Amino acid sequence: MVLVAAAGAINWDVTLFVERIPCRGEEAGVIRISEVPGGKAANVAVAAARILGAGSSAIIGAIGDDYIGRRQILEFEREGVDVRGLLTLRGEGSGRAFVIVERDGGENVIFSYHGAVSKLGRMHLEEEGLRAVLDELKVLVIMDVPPEFLEGLMEEADEAGKTIILAPGVRTDPILIRRLAVLSDYLIINEHELIVLTGGGSLEAALGGRYTKVVVTLGADGAILKGSEGELRVPGVRLDSMGLRVENTVGCGDAFIGVFSSYKVMGYEDELAIRMANLAGAFKATRMETRGSPTRAELEEFERKAVEEGAFG
């Protein structure tokens, strides 16, 4: 049974690992090239499946009728992600992403082409497989989907009493986010997205107090939970204290969201869910692959070592 579903981008990532990200007009050498499945919602669905088990997570989105789309389905099936909510749109191309990653520190630049996902509208909510997933799920993570599809998903999930986690990224209109935030149980954004959403002002003013909880991710510095009961800061993980280093930061935020949603659906309180999500993001940073999120056993072992080494804070 599906417990968590993620709606949004499904990409095939081409990653160039370089010594440093070049300036405009500058040529730079490439150390290594990697091609792997990615896309924010796809990464979240996989991260949740690794925590909750095969068949417990689903992807909601669209692929094209091309070789990339067929490869994506195989990857989801291999990871145990339910694909009933994955639509194939004839005549459309599947999503692609082109990523540049620096060797030292893992900083990155991403160019995304969402392809078929960008064509989703309200009418697609009537697809039989997608409706079955919506009926089953407990937690719906909504990410970078078109406005019409986003509104329809949120309205249906809210009416059905599902837990809604909105993590829209910077591509979604801030005005739309501010209007729909009232329907979400959690709004998850990073520091840059916070600035875009608020225009540099306060979160309270931007959302008009019409939200339940907002999680602001801070990378290595952890995360802050803001809600009607005040503010909670959860410390990050110092990898150097564990004798580890950052290899690639692409996908860390997706690992965070996938694990946070998984621990919430398992009934954990916010503070522990964010703690485990922080650990998942840190674990992923030590992996080169985009979908480097841990299994539950790996995550719990990573937590044990972090505690042992005093790596929090």
**Pairwise CA distance, residues 187 & 114, whole Å:** 22
Q: What is the pTM of this model?
A: 0.92
Return the exposure string of 28-61: e unless at least 16 CB atoms fall within 10 Å of the residue's CB, then b: eeeeeeeebbbbbbbbbbbbbbbbbeeebbbbbb
pLDDT tens track for 98-129: 989 888 767 888 898 989 999 999 999 999 99
pLDDT at res. 275: 98
Which residues are paired to 111 by β-bridges? Answer: 98
User: Which residues of the chain form beta strands (DSSP E)?
Assistant: 4-7, 11-18, 30-38, 57-64, 81-82, 86-89, 95-102, 108-113, 139-142, 163-166, 186-190, 213-217, 223-227, 230-234
User: 4-10+38-94+116-308, what's its fold?
Assistant: UDP-N-acetylmuramoyl-L-alanine:D-glutamate ligase (3.40.1190)
pLDDT at res. 211: 62
pLDDT tens track for 221-255: 999 999 877 899 999 999 999 999 998 888 999 99
What does the domain layout of the chain look like in residue ranges? 4-10+38-94+116-308
What is the rounded average pLDDT for all residues in the chain? 93
